[in-house]
Amino acid sequence: MPAFVYSYDGEFLRTDTTTVEAVENRYLLNNGSFALSGASITPIQQSPWLVALKNEKNQMMATKSPFPANVPAEACYMQEIQFVPFQNSALAYTLCNDTVFRVTETGIRPACVYDKKNGAEYNEKIADINEMAKDNTNTLSTIELFTFFKTSRYFYFRTIVLSKPEKCFFQRLDKRTGEFLSQPVKQDFMELSVGFSDGNVIGMENDWDGGVPFCPRYIYKDRICVQVINAVTLEKLENKGYLKDKPVALQLDADDNPMVIVYTFKN
């Protein structure tokens, strides 16, 4: 399988057909086939596609690149590849294309389009490794989609508005009605988090049981999502005046393992 090969300076070198396939995630589907996500950019290799489908015999059945066919390899730089399994399918997205793709046993199709309105110039330059080396794209972007997940009825998004200070929104799209709701994330929650990795609290304030801000990261199965929180983040929230009425289960000591919070959605 081909892979794009770059130097450590970011220069495109060649298309390599002898290297091991550049795959970051594999998700087993019910019929024995696999949904694959392309590897994030490295100086060594990157898949020429965002997402792919292989059958149970390891034969490639379909691929989806986020770029038009005439784009040169040096402008096919995929940043922040997101791959979200959901039931018998998986969703995939990268910054240079507003489309979220779904791969199933039968192929790859658009699942939704999150129109960031960043413009064609941004979409072109964010995917050009030479432009990224110049750090020349920050002023072109207004909105970034950083994480998302879905249930049987809704898409959930977390987006950043690149203003000063940056603002984050937790959003929900109803697939049946098209209703789109958006909730700003408190600045405190952004300051207490390190990116969107485990333990972050960049989400909605919990007014249900006084627990941690709502920001699931993992899909377990339809209507069930998982969030991970650690003792350090809990302490930071308490020092900011949150969690005054926290559930007993959130009593973590500094040396305790992170806590797994399971959410069950009605829809």
Q: What is the pLDDT along the chain (267 residues), one digit of tens a residue?
A: 456 666 656 677 766 654 456 788 889 999 999 999 987 655 555 677 899 999 999 899 999 988 887 877 777 778 778 899 888 899 999 888 899 999 999 999 999 999 888 877 777 777 777 776 665 555 556 788 888 888 888 999 999 887 777 889 999 999 999 999 999 999 999 888 876 666 788 889 888 888 899 988 887 777 788 888 888 888 999 999 999 888 888 888 888 888 889 988 887
Q: 26: closest CA among 51, 45, 43, 5?
A: 51
Give the residue extent of every domain in the chain.
Answer: 1-141
Structure tokens at 133: 């080396």
Q: What is the pLDDT of residue 249?
A: 81
Residue type, 234: L
Q: Could you count the other beta carbons within 10 Å of the beta carbon of residue 40? A: 16
CB 51 within 8 A of CB 103: yes
Would strands 34-38 and 218-221 be described as parallel, antiparallel, or unpaired? unpaired
Which CA distances in Å does 108 have to 77, 99, 111, 177? 21, 12, 9, 24
Q: Cα-flanking dihedrals φ and ψ of residue 242, to 5°?
A: -95, 170
Tokens 């784009």 belong to which residue? 71
Q: What is the pLDDT of residue 100?
A: 94
Please state, in angstroms and rounded to a whole number, the distance separating the CA atoms of residues 80 and 100: 13
Please state, in angstroms and rounded to a whole number, the distance separating the CA atoms of residues 149 and 102: 12
